[in-house]
Structure 1
Amino acid sequence: MIKLTCFKAYDIRGKLGEELNEDIAYKIGRAYGQIYQPKTVVIGCDVRLSSEALKQATIRGLNDAGVNVLDLGMTGTEEVYFGAFHLDVQGGIEITASHNPMDYNGMKLVRENSRPISADTGLKEIRALAEKAEFSEVAQKGTTQNYNILPEFIEHLMTYIDVSKIRPIKLVVNAGNGAAGHVVDAIQAKFETLNVPIEFVKIHHEADGTFPNGIPNPLLIENRDSTRDAVLKHQAGMGIAWDGDFDRCFLFDEKGQFIEGYYIVGLLAQAFLLKQSGEKIVHDPRLVWNTLDVVEQYQGVAVQSKSGHAFIKDVMREHNAVYGGEMSAHHYFRDFAYCDSGMIPWLLAVVVLSETKQSLSSLVEEMIAKFPCSGEINFKVADTQTTIQKIFDHYDEQKPVIDYTDGVSLDFGEWRLNVRASNTEPLLRLNIESRRDQNPKSIQAYVDEVTQLIEG
């Protein structure tokens, strides 16, 4: 029995060759089919050079388990999510390693209605069966059909916005040579038929699995220059950049400044609450004050959830929340089967800019001034729990309000910190925010103080 190390808390991800190869992909497809016994599933893959072969191996496994497959071709993760809840199917698989290095690949798996399959809801069982490779023979193998989901996906995206309200704007769009480009092209074509006055400036647009401009991960500071420079050069109203499978999008204002995902959560909460007050908004515990302020201001109800897509989706379902946002740029929508999307956020942002007649910088600068934050800072430490305890002990006498929803949050009134072990990497993640009106001390001063504790 081969031990499989590519199974993570939320998905499957591993180094090509030993950790993930076509044989392992076949076994995962076969195990998925045997455990869930769906009649039909959708499958797609990103632009990585290894993705198509891994997809075909997974399809063979599914077919051999008696499962019919609709092959969506080259897709982003959310196109598979969409297919899994929009079509008459019982699950979906996207072959992607998102923003991981070139020599990695992986899978994201969902059940019917795009319900996530994570370690707590089925991944462990799939791994155990794939490791044993004790597969049942089926009376009839499944079939495979190609299916173009794009036209239906575009129609669905249009339901989130009122195109008649969109004012003229120029957008810089950076697909990072990942999977987003074909959807942007289809949205542009749709806008042209509807006479929507949006001009697109496309950079790094063509899908290219060699990633000539680097792995698409706009969270890395060094990957932001091209979007910023294009916004300034073309005097655009906003810049948008995506990761490889475009389930996350990152926004730049008209000055080329990168907007932390935390403030985009506030912006999108505002967009939904302007349409319907009283709705519930789910947020993660890493940075919270700005979100709570916006939700209160626009008469919504804020609900806190542990970070991570499986937790956010469960809490949204439980509370029937219209929107959920994480500071990591994952944005979830009730009408999208509670799944995350990298296309819906920027469409909503365009409408907010049009309706408020404000620039993106003016919409977020008040939030940033009122609740400055550090952004997420990662530390490599020998023992995350020991380090967290050290921070805890140091601040104990200051009697902070403590919250254990995700890692440890310490609230001192005028500033707060959240520190947690990464679910996916051997890292300690730190976030700090403050209330500017109560606190003249700079965020950097707090960052330096806690950094010294961690690294001391």
Structure 2
Amino acid sequence: MNKLSCFKAYDIRGKLGTELDNEIAYKIGRAYGQIYQPKTVVIGCDIRLTSEDLKQATIQGLNDAGVNVLDLGMTGTEEVYFGAFHLDVQGGIEITASHNPMDYNGMKLVRENARPIGADSGLKEIQALAESEAFQTVETKGTTIPYNILPEYIDHLMTYISPSKIRPLKLVMNAGNGAAGHVVDAIEDKFKQLNIPVEFIKIHNEPNGHFPNGIPNPILIENRSSTRDAVLVHGADMGIAWDGDFDRCFLFDEKGQFIEGYYIVGLLAQAFLLKQAGEKIVHDPRLVWNTFDIVEQFKGEAIQSQSGHSFIKEKMREQNAVYGGEMSAHHYFRDFAYCDSGMIPWLLAVSVLSETQKPLSALVEEMIEKFPCSGEINFKVQDTQSTIQKIFDHFADQNPSIDRTDGVSLDFGAWRFNVRESNTEPLLRLNIESRLDQNPRPMQDYVDELTKLIQN
């Protein structure tokens, strides 16, 4: 039995050739079909050079397990999610490595109604069957037909805005040569049909699996300049940049400043609670104080969850939360079957900009001022667990309050931090925040102290 190392906590991600190839993709498709026995599933893939072949191998596995497939073609992950809850199907698979390096690929799997499949909800069973290859022979193989989900998906996105209320705006859209370009084009066309006075300035809009402008991952500082520069050159009201499968979007204000995903969680929580006080907002434990503040201010209920899409979605379903946000720029919506979307957040931001008549910078500056944060800092370390223990031991005598929802969070009253192991890469992730009204120390002091501790 060949052990498969591409199975992670909430998706499949692996190095091409060694951890993931067409043969492994076939086995995963076959295992998925045999375990869940869906009648039909939707499947799509991102723009990576290997994605189409991996998709075809997965389709073959599904068909050989007796499953019919609707092939959505080149899509972002959320188009597969949308298909999985909108169409009469019983599951979906997106072939994507999101923001991982060029030599990686992967899959995101969902069941009926786009319910996530993670390590605790079916992924281990798929792994075990794919490893054992104890596949049953079916009498009737499945069929595959192409399906264009785009028109229905765009119509759904339009339900999050009131077209007549949108004021004239200029937006920079940076698809990063990933999968987002075709959706940007379709939304632009729909806006023109509805006479919505928004001008789209599109950069790196053409899908290109060679990624001539770098892997689309705007969370990396070195990948932000093209969006920032375009905002400034064109005098835009906002910049939007996506990762490769566009399930994450990143916002830049009218000054070209990148807005940490943490504060976008507060902004979107506010947007929902203004409509309906008392709603539940799910958040991850990396940075929390601004979210607590906003949710309390607008009379909602904040609920903490472990990071990662399958964990957040399960918690939202359990609590019937209207919205869930992660500081990593994943945003989840009850009306989108609790799935994450990289298109809904910027549409909601456009609504807030229009309704408040305020620039984006003004909407977030107060949050940033009250609760400064470091942004996520990643470290490559030899042994993540022993490094976390070293940090824990270092601060033990300061008697912080401790939370182990995800990694370790230590709260000292005037400042706090979370340190956790990445679920997708061999990295240690650090996030620090402070309360400005209680804290004379600059953020960089904390960053320096923890960096020194981690690297020594």
Cα distance in 1 for residues equivalent to 2:330 and 2:12: 18
Shift of 1:168: 0.4
Residues 293-323 of structure 1: CA deviation (Å, up to 9, x unaligned): 1111111111111111111111111110000
Correspondences of 1:161-176 after superposition (within 5 Å): 161-176=161-176
Residues 406-443 of structure 1: CA deviation (Å, up to 9, x unaligned): 11111111111111122222222111100111111101
Q: Which residue of 2 aligns with 1:37?
A: 37
Cα distance in 2 for residues equivalent to 1:80 and 1:422: 25
Q: Which residue of 2 aligns with 1:213?
A: 213
8 Å contact kept, 2:14–2:104: yes
Cα distance in 1 for residues equivalent to 2:383 and 2:50: 35
Within the alignment, does 1:22 sit opposite 2:22 as a pair? yes
Look up the equivalent residue of 1:279 and give its one-letter code. Answer: E
| TM-score normalised by structure 2 residue count | 0.98
Within the alignment, does 1:10 sit opposite 2:10 as a pair? yes
Correspondences of 1:190-339 after superposition (within 5 Å): 190-339=190-339
Query: What secondary structure does 1:349 align onto?
Result: helix
Query: What secondary structure does 1:274 align onto?
Result: helix
Shift of 1:446: 1.1
Higher mean displacement: 388-397 or 353-362: 388-397
Shift of 1:400: 1.4
Q: Residues 146 and 252 from structure 1, CA distance in 2 versus in 1: closer, same or farther, beyond 3 angstroms?
A: same
Cα distance in 2 for residues equivalent to 1:159 and 1:315: 24
Query: What secondary structure does 1:126 align onto?
Result: helix
Cα distance in 2 for residues equivalent to 1:385 and 1:143: 46
Cα distance in 1 for residues equivalent to 2:451 and 2:103: 32
Amino-acid identity (%): 82
Shift of 1:327: 0.4
Look up the equivalent residue of 1:248 and give its one-letter code. Answer: R
Q: Which residue of 2 aligns with 1:389?
A: 389
Shift of 1:70: 0.5
Shift of 1:122: 1.3
Query: What secondary structure does 2:210 align onto?
Result: coil
| TM-score normalised by structure 1 residue count | 0.98
Shift of 1:165: 1.2
Look up the equivalent residue of 1:340 and give its one-letter code. Answer: D
Shift of 1:249: 0.2
Residues 98-123 of structure 1: CA deviation (Å, up to 9, x unaligned): 11122211111100011111111111
For structure 2, which runs of at least 5 residues remain unmatched after alignment?
A: none
Residues 188-244 of structure 1: CA deviation (Å, up to 9, x unaligned): 111111110100000000111111111111111111111011000000000000000
Within the alignment, does 1:47 sit opposite 2:47 as a pair? yes
Look up the equivalent residue of 1:169 and give its one-letter code. Answer: L
Cα distance in 1 for residues equivalent to 2:57 and 2:383: 39
Shift of 1:453: 2.0
Look up the equivalent residue of 2:218 and give its one-letter code. Answer: P
User: RMSD of the alignment, in Å?
Assistant: 1.0
Cα distance in 1 for residues equivalent to 2:62 and 2:370: 52
Look up the equivalent residue of 2:453 and give its one-letter code. Answer: L
> Which stretches of structure 1, 4 residues or longer, exceed 4 Å deviation after superposition?
none
8 Å contact kept, 2:13–2:424: no
Cα distance in 2 for residues equivalent to 1:398 and 1:6: 40
Within the alignment, does 1:412 sit opposite 2:407 as a pair? no
Cα distance in 1 for residues equivalent to 2:427 and 2:28: 28
Cα distance in 1 for residues equivalent to 2:172 and 2:215: 19
For structure 1, which runs of at least 5 residues remain unmatched after alignment?
A: none
Query: What secondary structure does 1:53 align onto?
Result: helix
Q: Which residue of 2 aligns with 1:441?
A: 441
Shift of 1:18: 2.6
Correspondences of 1:80-99 after superposition (within 5 Å): 80-99=80-99
Look up the equivalent residue of 2:433 and give its one-letter code. Answer: E
Cα distance in 2 for residues equivalent to 1:268 and 1:79: 21
Query: What secondary structure does 1:159 align onto?
Result: helix
Residues 267-299 of structure 1: CA deviation (Å, up to 9, x unaligned): 000111111111110011110000111111111
Q: Which residue of 2 aligns with 1:347?
A: 347
Cα distance in 2 for residues equivalent to 1:75 and 1:382: 36
Cα distance in 1 for residues equivalent to 2:427 and 2:57: 33
Look up the equivalent residue of 1:2 and give its one-letter code. Answer: N
Residues 383-415 of structure 1: CA deviation (Å, up to 9, x unaligned): 222222222222222221111111111111111
Residues 108-163 of structure 1: CA deviation (Å, up to 9, x unaligned): 11000111111111111112211222211111111111111001001111111111
Look up the equivalent residue of 1:344 and give its one-letter code. Answer: I
Cα distance in 2 for residues equivalent to 1:426 and 1:214: 21
Cα distance in 1 for residues equivalent to 2:206 and 2:29: 30
Cα distance in 1 for residues equivalent to 2:211 and 2:377: 26
Q: Residues 60 and 270 from structure 1, CA distance in 2 versus in 1: closer, same or farther, beyond 3 angstroms?
A: same
Cα distance in 1 for residues equivalent to 2:390 and 2:146: 55
